[in-house]
Structure 1
Amino acid sequence: MIAEPYKVLVTGAAGFVGSALMYSLKQRDHINPIGIVRHQLSDPLIPYSINSVGDMDNATDWTSVLSGIQVIIHTVGRAHVMNDSAEDPLDEYRSVNVGVTINLARQAAEAGVKRFIYISSIKVNGEQSAEGKPFTADDIPLPEDPYGISKFEAERGLQELAESTGMDIVIIRPPLVYGPGVKGNFASMVRLVGKGLPLPLGAVYNKRTLVALDNLVDLIVTCVDHPAAANQVFLAGDAEDLSTTELLRGVAKAMGKPCRLVPVPSFILRLGAILLGKKALAQRLLGSLRVDISKNSELLGWKPPLTVEEGLKRCFVSEKNQ
């Protein structure tokens, strides 16, 4: 382990994961975190250094922010978009998730950065885990959609760079991340539960792995200077898998709201979703996506510090304190 203070550069420092990561790194006496954002922040209460590099592309010059940096944590990426309207979605994802990533990593290696931590996605493994066979970090990647494909291509480019330069590459693939301020599908589900409307999801017996924001951040921080993390792929996740029904009940409990679930059989929900052209949504609500995180414990001695119940409670702490 590195004992003396050293510099860690975090891209996307104002984002959902990046901002939580910056605050966590700031608590470590031996780490000096430096955040990178597209546009300069003016909040005087932010207790760490922030640099603006403007819009990022495959030609961005990172020279001014790489001096003395020992570790980079790259959280920037074009997030998964439901019902993407781009003319060529794969090209749009590649421009950011591959182009920006490889350009930064190449310059980092040239600047002497020792380790590059890339926040990828479980979609590199695939869209659905088989019955009784959760995804593992060493599975053959089977990405299906443009987002997953772009993340996998970035991983391959980084691994090739590691082989040619000697810079450590660490890849972390999280599933759905939830926590305070979360957006996307999880936020939509929270809104529905909050309205107290009856939902036809009371008999869904799938299993999905999610990861609490604090658990993901803790895993990333562990990988900053752990020798065994070098050139490894890790899957992030909570210690417990939930069905959609269990998740909705857990969210309602954390919100202090009643949970009104109607037990409609899954095959009827799936058929209805297909007829309405919502097959992808049905997969997220009814399909299973389980993740095996045992490699994290075996190599890093890491286990999720928060339970699912604790993670869900933290989603709503600020709201209850207002």
Structure 2
Amino acid sequence: MTGPLIALTGATGFIGRHLVAELPKRGYRVRVLLRRPAEVPEGATGAVIGDIASPHNMAAALRDVDAVIHSAGLAHAMSGMPEDDYRAINTQGTLNLARAAERAHVKRFVFLSSIRAQSGPVAALPLTEADEACPTDAYGRSKLDAEQGLDALGIDWVALRPVLVYGPGVKGNMAALLRLAQSRWPLPLGSLYAQRSLLSLDNLTSALDVVLKAPGPLRRALIVADPEPLTVAEIVAAMRSGIGRRPGLVPIPSVLLRLAAALTGRSEAYDRLAGSLVAKPDALRTLGWQPVSSTRDGLARLAQSAQDSSSAG
């Protein structure tokens, strides 16, 4: 292959594994940057061992690289981590790598930030990049600090702020919701009307393709989300449609659900489930981004894939 060479961090993670497999299909060569010796992921053209927390010499890793996609970092699901750890890895680690990329004359630095750099887990109004960034936890603050640090460097950069990403191998809250959707029981979620924006792995990959090819300079943060937000009930219904089942959703009054959550110590989880978070990717679309799949179709395929994997196992 002779396409652009991309240096990718986080290649062994949920998003990174998908990018290693899919970016070559779009004409890119992928060099993965790994913290410790490991097998080179299928699809990568090479691998370099190093640690962005202390990049003594990243010259070899970034030699001849056209762009960096930085997807490694501490996830927000790692609750209880000290704020200093988030800052050391998500902020300083990002800036260490960006400075090394600038020294290596890399053309563009693509940072996978998060919608949590802009907002808490719920938002009363639809989010756009024009809104003031108001992160509410250490994870979100570390991502926003990294974005602001990038803006002080000379390298051309772009920070993608994805909402909750789903696809094969998803973990956390989306995996729990998928397990519920796979059950044969009716679910008391029919009265949850708040909408949530989601993002499929395929749509994230197409967004990365757009920002990698966009004429520069970019030097800004961009929200990335599937265009159509769904309610929790619609999310479950889409998943169940993928495995040939009816929605099976019962409209239990939300006050009873909130009480049940409080009695079982799950009030925070309920607030996230019942709260709204809609993010508008309009600025990204002005760069030419077109989603490759709808949310409903993506969720149906996710459920079908999970069922096929379960049957194969």
Do the structures match in fold with TM over 0.5? yes
CA distance in 1, matches of 2:306, 2:270: 31
Q: 2:31 aligns with which of 34, 52, 76?
A: 34
Superposition pairs of residues 75-114 of structure 1, within 5 angstroms: 75-81=71-77, 84-86=79-81, 88=82, 90-114=83-107
Which string of whole-angstrom CA distances, capped at 9 and with x for unpartnered residues, describes residues 269-288 of structure 1? 23443454433212221000
Q: 2:291 aligns with which of 304, 316, 321?
A: 304
Q: Which amino acid aligns with 2:12?
A: A
Given the alignment of the two structures, is residue 179 of structure 1 paired with residue 187 of structure 2, yes or no? no
CA distance in 2, matches of 1:107, 1:279: 44
Which string of whole-angstrom CA distances, capped at 9 and with x for unpartnered residues, describes residues 131-179 of structure 1? xx31002211000011111111111111112xxx2x1110100010000
Superposition pairs of residues 133-172 of structure 1, within 5 angstroms: 133-161=125-153, 165=154, 167-172=155-160
Number of aligned positions between the proteins: 307
Structure-2 residue corresponding to 1:216: 204
- Structure 1 range deviating more: 218-227 or 252-261: 252-261
CA distance in 2, matches of 1:257, 1:155: 43
Q: Which amino acid aligns with 1:169?
A: W
In structure 1, the gaps of 5 or more residues are none
Structure-1 residue corresponding to 2:218: 230
What RMSD in Å do the two structures reach over aligned CA positions?
A: 2.1
CA distance in 2, matches of 1:295, 1:23: 27
Q: Which amino acid aligns with 2:100?
A: Q
Structure-2 residue corresponding to 1:273: 261
Q: Which amino acid aligns with 1:150?
A: S
Which string of whole-angstrom CA distances, capped at 9 and with x for unpartnered residues, describes residues 94-148 of structure 1? 1211121111111111111111000010011212222xx3100221100001111
In structure 2, the gaps of 5 or more residues are none
Structure-1 residue corresponding to 2:12: 14
What SS is found at the alignment partner of 2:66? strand
CA distance in 2, matches of 1:317, 1:276: 32
Q: Which amino acid aligns with 2:234?
A: E
Superposition pairs of residues 181-220 of structure 1, within 5 angstroms: 181-220=169-208
> Are 2:227 and 2:280, in contact at CA under 8 Å, matched by a contact in 1?
no
Q: Which amino acid aligns with 1:119?
A: L
Q: 1:301 to 1:257 in 2, by over 3 A?
A: same
What SS is found at the alignment partner of 1:170? strand
Structure-2 residue corresponding to 1:126: 119
CA distance in 1, matches of 2:139, 2:148: 15
Structure-1 residue corresponding to 2:239: 251
> Are 2:147 and 2:221, in contact at CA under 8 Å, matched by a contact in 1?
no
> Are 1:9 and 1:69, in contact at CA under 8 Å, matched by a contact in 2?
yes
Which string of whole-angstrom CA distances, capped at 9 and with x for unpartnered residues, describes residues 272-308 of structure 1? 434544332122210000011111122x121211011
- Structure 1 range deviating more: 12-21 or 169-178: 12-21
Q: Which amino acid aligns with 1:304?
A: P
CA distance in 2, matches of 1:231, 1:111: 18
